Structure 1
Amino acid sequence: MTFTVQSAGRQFDRLALMFFGDTEVWRTSTAEPVKPPGIRWTVTKDMSHLLYFWKSPQRIIFDLGNLVDEKYTGTFNTTLTASFYQVTPSDFQDAKPADLIVPISSRKGAQGLPSHFVLPGDQASNSVSLPRNINRAVLTISANGQAAEEFWWSNVLESDKMTFAKTYGAYPGRSPFREVQVLVDGHLAGVSWPFPVIFTGGVTPSLHRPIVGLQAFDLREHQIDISPWLPLLCDGHEHDFAIRVMGVTDNGVDGGVLSASIDDSWYVTGKVFLWLDDDGRSVTTGSVSTSALKPLASQDPVIHLSRAISRNETGFNETLSFEVTVRRSLDISATVRSQRRHSHVQWTQKLEYTNVALVKDFGFNQVNDFRVTGLDEARGLDQDRSFETFYEYPLHCNQSIRFDSSGDMTIQSSLLEGLQLKIRGSSVLPMGTEGYPGPLPESQTQGAHLQTLREGQGEFFAPAGGKTSSGFGSTNQLFYFGSLLTVPGQSLEHAGKSHELYFRNVTAVNGSVVADEERSVASACRNIVRPPQPAAGNSQDRGGDEGVVRVEGKHPPSTAAPGSWFEFAEPLAPRQHFGRRLKLVQPSCGNIDCEAGTPTATARGSSTSIGPLLQQLQLQQQPLRYH
């Protein structure tokens, strides 16, 4: 599926949700446009896991809300296309697509309306009667905060939200932690600790032009294996599926508990992927472990809080520091008997969360050092139905706001966000490796490995009255994607070897791309650099190879016009890639030897969680060879 958008003018970033009837199938957001001629972007997404829907006519509901007036003039001209390919069962690698997909939504598709729940106002639950011959079930969640909950990761503890009421004003409370829970008949079936998506107007708008925040154009779902609940779900009766978003309520000292008390609003939906036995008369039976049926209150995570406030000599609160740590382990198992299987199935999750925060300058400067790690495992079914996912996402944000005597506002910020994702086994969601030719025999690969790091600095200026604004900034993103290599007996968390499929290192300054290095096993290698140029007021697109000048040496000609692109015949100086230096030993794209050099410094200021990730985001220790 390909989604292309053109926009010009002034506008906020907007969230968009796409449904097939009552079932959400994609969630994205828009870039903030600029004055004419504006901007254009394209998103391509694999939708093969939704094959169940493609077999019959569907009503597509695409909800992209917008407000246009004399101040906010930007409209969105969108084009959505789908491309279909003939495939064989072997093309689906580890698992065939689901036989049935059941929505967990507000079910407003018949009215032509989007079907997402809005929390905390809605009751996000459906009572559903499922087929009795299910042999595998996986539920996916789509959830993100909006409005007062968009920057939930930067909230303070509820007891501290009025700390700077006399200087800055009230801060958002309810804690900087959120947990999305899935309940089956009131029992905890799994959780998702949401990724902190920063949309294209977030923190400082100039941070996102044209390199947008991680997942801003494709908000990733979280998958939870609910196969251990099949003995209950296949009894022929209706069962309740519910989604809750939880925060932390603190006691004002050092303790806190999970609470459904959150601000507006969270957009949530779910869908259940089901695989059925061939015999429609078969009935899946078995027994769910008693530990899975424990009361919800006894399954809360372990929460630790600490906080401190300092005051100046006149008694005003000057700084607030706090730390939130959360740990959770979940283990749900069952004996499941279906038409062809009798097995012990298990779903486990291990998650850790930390957020070290400092609010200073009487509330006008805030620093958050955030990190989530998680390991999800579905085991016990056949090898082609088990899967594991390891995920890690750090975020370091430093933002200060100033108002002068005239009321003019200045925002200065630095932002570092990262994502590491390892998947192996029978993932319901596409892993990304499906579209690449196998660089190694299939017996040596197990899954996918994605690592990306995005770092930028920006400033934003808005005079009193807010009719105009301006800003500048620079952003760099490193992106690595590879096929995960098999290491017998090694846990997914510590599996570090992968075969590179795609790599990119791109830098933008003041809305224009100034350097772009790209490698892919599916195409020729690129090493293209454009000299810095003054901000043009709109994002410039390279537009393919037109205007690209091949340079035999290491320097562009002195007569180069601003905005020219150059492709270098030989490598440039070594660049830092995920904490190591990479040197292209041989310039030929047909046969490249990539040699890892000495480690470089990875510490980033006072950040406590970014450093370890930077050390992990590195290429293999041994030379890499691509043929």
Structure 2
Amino acid sequence: MLPKGKFSRCLAAAGLMLCFGGVAQAAPDNSSPVGSTNVTVADPTVPRPPGQPCVVQLFSNDTFNDYSPRPFSYTPPAGCGTKWAKVVLEGDFSVTAGIQYDRTATIFLAGVNLYFGTTQEPDPTEAQSWHVERDLTDYTALFRNAGQGQVFIGNIVNSTYTGVIHGSARLLFYPASAVAPAAKVPDAVYPLGSDPVGSTVALNNSSSQLAATLTLPQNVERAYLDVFTQSQSNDEFWYTCVPNQYAAETQECGGGNFREAEISIDGQPAGVAPVYPWIYTGGIDLFMWEPTPGVQTLNFMPYRVDLTPFAGLLSNGSPHQIALSVQGANSYFSATASLLVYQDAHASQVTGALVRNTLVNQPPNPTIGSTLSQDSSGNVTGDITTDLSRHFIIEGYVNTSHGRVDTKVDQTVSFADTQGFNITSSTYGQTSDQLTKVDGVSRSTVNGFLSGQFDEHYRYPLHVDVGETFETSGDISILTTVRQGYEQKTSLGLDGLTLYSAEVRNHVNAGDTLVLNSSFQIASHSGQYNTQDFAFHDSLGGCYRSSVTTTNDTVTAYSSGKGCPGGQNRVFWFTHPDGSPYNGNTFLGW
């Protein structure tokens, strides 16, 4: 942590995530993490269908102590068929006792991302471990063939940074059955990166691209893009930065705080993916994230972009470039994306066209406002605002074996940010209030009727309040509070009738007071607290509720199932209580 609003990274302790067992529970109902200093989260695990899964170990107890990727070979599960009800990735990671930064972690297979997240910062005196899961059912086509993969956790180990990271991961394949039929999954998965084994791509500025030129099958009926954009280096604290013209006055990072992923096909705008403000366990004040990290810190969720209006264009037999960039990137964002394609099983060739795209004439240029003022004593007060809202419609059609399918994607994507400053010779105050919103609907018709509809609503609220006091002793006292949220509402409908709806809410509220000495070394901290509340419910009666509270780096309260019928978490195996994406044109993936 540096003075005068310069957000930085610290080293800290972590712990053991208690999220084993139970269909969709962060910890078994008969256990309690209260009193633990190990990592504890409220997130649900991925719910499972009945039956025993076939298991493929990707890598086991690999050691990460340098910047070399760890390769592995994948072979499909023997005797388990090629159609599965569900495919789940499980990963277990640990770090030895010592000093170490949090690190970015990725797993790739044949160029396609299977996992993206960060590691917990370790404790100097305790070894730590944690568990992550990802629903990869939509990537079934990838797992039908053998391939090469790699896991990458770049880590420096020397006399100063002593924490060594270890990890294992496996895929669980749940065979289809009468009660758990095979999922209706994409027919093909294509990575956007050029690495045949897989890696992320650094996007250093708004012009940098993650791109692939693909010649797709000529019978594409639907297409989606799963997007990850992770802030790194100078961009790690992008949500606190200000436009360059105000950077010196506010003593903050420049480059502004608007970030948004732009999707294009052959250079034409094709969609938007909001950027989530993930905060890593060394971020802002490391003690706030012990033992509960921020929203999705250890396990990112992708954002899924509906590219179906372009299906006719993508099926014309010509190569097409699909690209992703991050508007406002300022060195740098780490990105990866995967294209999911559904094909017409009864036609080798389909035709179609894009008929409307109002996103083309709406560049992502936010409006900047300022009420900053400076008095004769040099005190600075006031706000800087950044706002952008775009409504767009993209329509296209494809002539399939079952008729003409028209698709209309109608979205409003907005970003609103206020940076408030109160700076004197002895204090530095900065408050960041940010809200990213997506309100969208994808509608489809077959031969002009039998319309299907997928509604989605996302909210990414973030509040960061930092108050620094420069003591006469030379110490710097820094009081920080963070409120972070991930909210998702989705529904599937047919001819105006809602077939299924679900809501996910994941909120973290944390705070701490950090004291640095005159050499900017951590002298002490006090008043640490953190509460995570996770809630899911759907129209089928599924319910998941969990909450964890920490005080002074120890779990002081934990609840599971409170607020659900009977006080029990119960979700159906085919639902997505973790907030992972699903497709809007099929009912629950069947």
- TM (norm. structure 1) is 0.70
Cα distance change of structure 1 residues 507 and 590 upon mapping to structure 2, 3 Å threshold:
closer
In 2, Cα distance between the equivalents of 1:397 and 1:81?
Answer: 37
5 Å-filtered alignment, 1:464-483, equals 464-465=518-519, 470-472=524-526, 473-483=528-538
Greater shift in the superposed pair: 376-385 or 67-76: 376-385
Greater shift in the superposed pair: 358-367 or 118-127: 118-127
1:355 paired residue number:
417
Which AA in structure 2 matches 1:285? Answer: T
Cα distance change of structure 1 residues 3 and 290 upon mapping to structure 2, 3 Å threshold:
closer
Cα distance change of structure 1 residues 384 and 507 upon mapping to structure 2, 3 Å threshold:
farther
Q: Deviations over 1:29-86 (max 9, x none)?
A: 1111102223221112222121112212232211111122222211212121222211
1:616 paired residue number:
none
Which AA in structure 1 matches 2:396? Answer: A
Q: Deviations over 1:333-361 (max 9, x none)?
A: 01221222302211121122211221222
1:286 paired residue number:
352
- 8 Å contact 1:400–1:412 — kept in the other structure? yes
In 2, Cα distance between the equivalents of 1:14 and 1:299?
Answer: 36
In 2, Cα distance between the equivalents of 1:123 and 1:478?
Answer: 36
- 8 Å contact 1:416–1:453 — kept in the other structure? yes
SS at match of 1:36: coil
Which AA in structure 2 matches 1:377? Answer: V
2:110 paired residue number:
21
**In the alignment, structure 1 residue 371 sits paired with structure 2 residue 435:** yes
Q: 1:109 aligns with which of 196, 212, 231?
A: 196
Q: Which runs of 5+ in 1 are unaligned?
A: 248-261, 427-442, 486-498, 520-524, 526-581, 593-627
5 Å-filtered alignment, 1:329-408, equals 329-362=391-424, 364-380=428-444, 386-404=453-471, 408=475
Q: What is the Cα deviation at residue 88 of structure 1?
A: 4.1
Which AA in structure 2 matches 1:125? Answer: A
Cα distance change of structure 1 residues 458 and 377 upon mapping to structure 2, 3 Å threshold:
same
Q: 1:33 aligns with which of 122, 130, 136?
A: 122
Q: What is the Cα deviation at residue 502 of structure 1?
A: 0.9
In 1, Cα distance between the equivalents of 2:546 and 2:429?
Answer: 33
In 1, Cα distance between the equivalents of 2:499 and 2:398?
Answer: 29
In 1, Cα distance between the equivalents of 2:230 and 2:129?
Answer: 25
2:273 paired residue number:
192
Q: What is the Cα deviation at residue 304 of structure 1?
A: 3.1
Greater relative contact order, per chain length (Cα 8 Å cut-off, separation 6+): 2
Cα distance change of structure 1 residues 410 and 68 upon mapping to structure 2, 3 Å threshold:
farther
- 8 Å contact 2:383–2:420 — kept in the other structure? yes
**In the alignment, structure 1 residue 461 sits paired with structure 2 residue 515:** yes
1:177 paired residue number:
258
Q: Which runs of 5+ in 2 are unaligned?
A: 1-88, 571-590
Q: Deviations over 1:177-199 (max 9, x none)?
A: 11110000111100012111111
Q: Deviations over 1:165-215 (max 9, x none)?
A: xxxx4x212221111100001111000121111111112111111111001
Q: Percent identity?
A: 23
2:226 paired residue number:
140
Cα distance change of structure 1 residues 175 and 416 upon mapping to structure 2, 3 Å threshold:
same
In 2, Cα distance between the equivalents of 1:460 and 1:289?
Answer: 56
- 8 Å contact 1:445–1:483 — kept in the other structure? no
Cα distance change of structure 1 residues 357 and 28 upon mapping to structure 2, 3 Å threshold:
same
Size of the aligned set, in residue pairs, is 471
In 2, Cα distance between the equivalents of 1:182 and 1:348?
Answer: 15
1:57 paired residue number:
146
- 8 Å contact 1:148–1:263 — kept in the other structure? yes
In 1, Cα distance between the equivalents of 2:299 and 2:235?
Answer: 19
1:603 paired residue number:
none
In 1, Cα distance between the equivalents of 2:114 and 2:373?
Answer: 48
In 2, Cα distance between the equivalents of 1:291 and 1:2?
Answer: 40
- 8 Å contact 1:356–1:370 — kept in the other structure? yes
SS at match of 2:513: strand
Q: Deviations over 1:496-544 (max 9, x none)?
A: xxx451111211011111111111xxxxx7xxxxxxxxxxxxxxxxxxx
In 2, Cα distance between the equivalents of 1:127 and 1:101?
Answer: 14
In 2, Cα distance between the equivalents of 1:185 and 1:512?
Answer: 52
Write out the 4+ residue segments of structure 1 that deviate beyond 6 Å after TM superposition: 382-385
Q: What is the Cα-based RMSD across aligned positions, in Å?
A: 2.8
Q: What is the Cα deviation at residue 286 of structure 1?
A: 1.8
**In the alignment, structure 1 residue 306 sits paired with structure 2 residue 373:** no
SS at match of 1:159: helix
- 8 Å contact 2:356–2:394 — kept in the other structure? no
Q: What is the Cα deviation at residue 5 of structure 1?
A: 1.8
Higher gyration radius (CA) = 1
Which AA in structure 2 matches 1:415? Answer: V
Q: What is the Cα deviation at residue 130 of structure 1?
A: 0.6
Cα distance change of structure 1 residues 117 and 338 upon mapping to structure 2, 3 Å threshold:
farther
**In the alignment, structure 1 residue 206 sits paired with structure 2 residue 300:** no
Q: 2:389 aligns with which of 327, 337, 344?
A: 327
SS at match of 1:51: helix
- 8 Å contact 1:119–1:268 — kept in the other structure? no
Which AA in structure 2 matches 1:305? Answer: I
**In the alignment, structure 1 residue 70 sits paired with structure 2 residue 156:** no
Q: 2:204 aligns with which of 101, 107, 119?
A: 119
Cα distance change of structure 1 residues 228 and 322 upon mapping to structure 2, 3 Å threshold:
same
Which AA in structure 2 matches 1:505? Answer: S
In 2, Cα distance between the equivalents of 1:408 and 1:49?
Answer: 53
In 2, Cα distance between the equivalents of 1:135 and 1:108?
Answer: 27
Cα distance change of structure 1 residues 404 and 416 upon mapping to structure 2, 3 Å threshold:
same
Which AA in structure 2 matches 1:411? Answer: I
